[in-house]
Every structure is written in C-alpha cells, then in structure tokens.
Amino acid sequence: MVFSVFQFIITSLLVVVCARTISVTEGDIPVLAMMIPALWILPQGGIAGLMLLASMVVYGLTLPIQSIAMSVAVWILIPVFSVAFSKRSNIWVVSIIGLIVLTLTVGIMLTQAAGKLSGTPMVTLVQAFSVFVAWYAARNWKGSTEHSWWSLALILPIWAAGLPYAALVSLCMTGILASMESLGRLKTFRWNKLFCWTLPTVGFAALVVVPSVDVPKPVFVVWLCLLGTAWMTDYILSIDVEQQEP
C-alpha cells in the first residue's frame, strides 16, 4: 500500500511537470509528442486505443491556437463525465449536468467570440469533444502487459530536433498512463476514481499557483464551477445510494 501511495504521488508530480512544460512552451508541442503515449498502449487498446490516439492528435493540433490555461482546464470535464455516466446516475442527472456544461461552455465561447479571451470558440468545442473521446477510451480501456515499446524511440528524433520540452511531455504522459494501468489492476483501492479527480485538478492548480502563468478569470470561474458540479453531484448520488441500502 505504501508503494502504491508513493506511485500515486509520483504520477501527480508527472502531471504537474507536464502542465508546466506545456505552459513554458506556450503549447508549441509537436503532434508526434502527443501521439507517442497513445501509440505505446495501442496494441492492448483495440478500438479504445485508436480513439485515444485520435483524441490526442486532435488535442495536440489545438494546443498552439488555444490559451494554455484553457487547454489544461478542459480536462476537468473528466470527473464531470465520470459522475454523469456512472452506474448511480440517471437521465435526470445527465440532463442537468449536460445543461450546466453546455451553459458554461457557451459562456466561454461567447467570451472568446467577443475578443475578451484568447482562442476561438470552435477550438474550445473541439477540445471539449477530444477530452470526451479520451475519457470514453479510458473507460473502455482494458490493461495488459503488451505495449509498443518501439514508440518510445520516436522521442529521440524529437529531442534531436531541439525540442527537449516536447520530449519531456511525451515521457511524462507515457509515465502517467503506465502508472494508471499499474494501479488500476489493484483491487484493494479504487485508484482509477482517485486519478479521475486528482490529476485534472493538480494539473490546473499547477498553473494557478505560478505567477508567471496568466489564468484568465473566466477560465478559472468555469473550471471551479465544473469541479463543484461534479463534486456536488457525486456527493448527492452517494448519499442517495446509502439511503437506499437496507
């Protein structure tokens, strides 16, 4: 258990490094660097692996044309999707959460359209959809011991091209996936659920606490509202399940 906790902490630190590295490069990360982690798990992923690969390619293409804060903040949709489509949920919960997400997303898109926030509305929509596809792929991801280790060799040309930050992002993301797969096999604790809540939160918090990174107020408010929505819904559903138990 101690080793698992240590591994979880290391994974969280990798997310921090990944978020800070993307902010330092201002999103100038080659798409290949985003593809390598997905290629690493592709043999065992099947359709889910292909979906993850596609989502990472699309997300990587949007990084240079979207604000870093927005690109990192959009991953808070992971716990929102997890709660909305959990076994405890129902059509009313999905509808209410969907309405909240839609309202907040439209608000951000209108702010971007008015020129008060960097990025474009279409890119915001594309990023949100790519995160949904990544979440769905992860939900249907069945871990195994088969990996495409050759894909890690693709980091060498990235490094040789004078892009050490991109190589670091690729390594960090691969390490995050490897750790999630390893801890996900354990039955003693629901590590996947903890990852779902912690990693998106830690990644965005790593930007908020750094003075050199500009986190626009609308992005922070929307991120906080989405996190609060997911947490409150999860709490209410948990209480409802407890009350139904004999």
Q: Where are the domains of the chain?
A: 1-243
pTM here is 0.89
Query: Of 195, 182, 190, which is closest to residue 15 (Cα–Cα)?
Result: 195
pLDDT of residue 130: 94
pLDDT of residue 59: 92
C-alpha–C-alpha distance, residues 210 and 72, integer Å? 14
How large is the average pLDDT for residues 179-205? 82
C-alpha–C-alpha distance, residues 14 and 26, integer Å? 18
Q: Report the 10 Å Cβ neighbour count for 99.
A: 10
C-alpha–C-alpha distance, residues 225 and 108, integer Å? 12
Provide, for the chain, the percentages of residues in helix, strand and coil under a 3-state DSSP scheme, each rounded to the nearest 5: 80, 0, 20
pLDDT at residue 174 greater than cutoff 80: yes
Locate tokens 């906790």: which residue? 5
pLDDT of residue 193: 82
* Amino acid in position 134: A
Specify whether the CB–CB gap between 219 and 67 falls below 8 A: yes
139: phi > 0 → left, psi -120 to 50 → alpha, else beta; which? alpha
**Token digits of residue 194:** 């903890």
pLDDT of residue 43: 60
pLDDT at residue 52 greater than cutoff 90: no
pLDDT at residue 204 greater than cutoff 60: yes
pLDDT at residue 60 greater than cutoff 60: yes
Specify whether the CB–CB gap between 165 and 29 falls below 8 A: yes
**Token digits of residue 50:** 């292909």
